[in-house]
């Protein structure tokens, strides 16, 4: 039986399955301390019976200091090297924080291509379902060490939307450094907070800025809107807000920008694969 979509923010606290995506700048460098409150919020949701998946960027940003680099490298090989080092450190930081609650993380490295290949997609779906069934917290990141053009893949926003489709998530929460989407970059005069986006709204007249000034991530408001539309088309409600407000977001507070979901499609026939674009 197809579940009804979560239509309102207030339903997030009771959602059966939630995907949370956090960007590089929110959990690396001077903001590495945000990992613990992020984990606290995820565990609180987990404690309410929600199945939680975390999509976390940050491998490259975390690895940069260990390669003694001054900033994000431009060449692919060095980006891959930074990701190889940083992913190890990143998952360790999450597991150390989760250890306070006796929860184990499961690392899942994917690319968008994996989710568009029927065999890879089926394998990923089976593994994720098993992890959730075992009450393991899956932590998903792009497999940057083997990625090519995907290494600049919307700061994992699109990947998070695809993961939401993969596991049939009720809600996708996209976290960044800004509390919501605005009609123009929030530092500009006349910027108005967008509280609700009806399904199918093309947000005409809205101007989105580029990625944050810190330079460690690759996503901006535009990638979040694209990801939100992708997820909403599969019947997943989407909330865009800041990492600092994640606890409120997962408790159903009236914050951020809510993208109303469309109808949830019927489950595919056995053996078939469907990927909404």
pLDDT in tens, 129-146: 999 999 999 999 988 887
Structure tokens given for 206? 């809205």
193 is in an annotated binding site: no
H or E segment to which residue 138 belongs: strand 137-142
97 is in an annotated binding site: no
Distance between CA 224 and CA 236 in Å, rounded?
14
Distance between CA 104 and CA 39 in Å, rounded?
12
pLDDT band at 18 (very low <50, low <70, confident <90, very high): very high
State residue 270's pLDDT score.
45
- Structural domains present in the chain: 9-259 (3.40.1160.10)
State residue 212's pLDDT score.
46
21 is in an annotated binding site: yes
State residue 267's pLDDT score.
66
Structure tokens given for 182? 């605005």
DSSP 63-80: HGGGGT-SS--SSHHHHH
Distance between CA 121 and CA 144 in Å, rounded?
18
Contact 218, 211 (CB under 8 A): yes
pTM: 0.91
Q: Does the pLDDT of residue 35 top 90, yes or no?
A: yes
Distance between CA 231 and CA 27 in Å, rounded?
24
Between 93 and 185, the more confident residue is: 93
75 is in an annotated binding site: no
144 is in an annotated binding site: yes
DSSP 77-110: HHHHHHHHHHHHHHHHHHHHHHGGGT--EEEEEE
What's the whole-number average pLDDT of the chain? 89
Rg (CA), the chain: 18
Distances (CA, A) of 237 to 10, 176, 231, 233: 11, 17, 7, 9
Which residue intervals of 187-274 are DSSP H helices?
Answer: 221-232, 246-250
Give 1: exposed, middle or buried? Use CB within 10 Å, 0-12, 13-18, 19+: exposed
Per-residue pLDDT of 43-100, as tens digits, reads 999 999 999 999 999 999 999 999 999 888 988 899 999 999 999 999 999 999 999 9
Query: Which of 38, 62, 33 is CA-nearest to residue 52?
Result: 38
Average pLDDT for 106-113: 88
Distance between CA 106 and CA 64 in Å, rounded?
24
Structure tokens given for 238? 């989407």
Kindly state the percentage of the chain with pLDDT values over 90.
Answer: 72
pLDDT band at 183 (very low <50, low <70, confident <90, very high): very high
Q: Does the pLDDT of residue 198 top 90, yes or no?
A: yes
176 is in an annotated binding site: yes
CA atoms within 13 A on the CB side of 115: 25
């Amino acid at each position: 039986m197809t579940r009804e979509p979560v239509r309102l923010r207030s339903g997030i606290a009771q959602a059966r399955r939630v995907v949370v995506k956090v960007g590089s700048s929110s959990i690396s460098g001077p903001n590495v301390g945000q990992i613990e409150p992020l984990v606290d919020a995820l565990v609180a949701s987990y404690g309410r019976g929600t199945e939680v998946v975390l999509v976390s960027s940050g491998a490259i940003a975390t690895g940069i200091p260990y390669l003694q680099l001054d900033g994000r490298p431009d060449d692919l090989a060095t980006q891959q090297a930074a990701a190889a080092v940083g992913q190890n450190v990143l998952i360790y930081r999450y597991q150390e924080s989760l250890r306070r609650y006796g929860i184990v993380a499961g690392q899942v490295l994917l690319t968008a291509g994996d989710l568009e290949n029927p065999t890879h997609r089926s394998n990923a779906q089976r593994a994720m379902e098993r992890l959730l069934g075992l009450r393991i917290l899956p932590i998903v990141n792009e497999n940057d060490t083997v990625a090519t053009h995907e290494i600049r893949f919307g700061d994992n926003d699109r990947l998070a939307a695809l993961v939401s489709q993969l596991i049939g998530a009720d809600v996708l929460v996209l976290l960044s450094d800004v509390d919501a989407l605005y009609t123009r970059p929030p530092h500009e005069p006349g910027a108005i907070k967008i509280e609700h986006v009806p399904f199918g709204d093309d947000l005409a007249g809205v101007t989105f800025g580029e990625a944050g000034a810190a330079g460690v991530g690759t996503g901006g408001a535009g990638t979040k809107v694209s990801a939100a539309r992708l997820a909403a088309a599969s019947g997943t409600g989407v909330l865009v807000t800041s990492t600092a407000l994640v606890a409120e977001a997962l408790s159903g507070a009236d914050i951020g920008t809510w993208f109303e979901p469309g109808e949830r499609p019927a489950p595919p026939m056995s053996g078939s694969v469907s990927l909404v674009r």
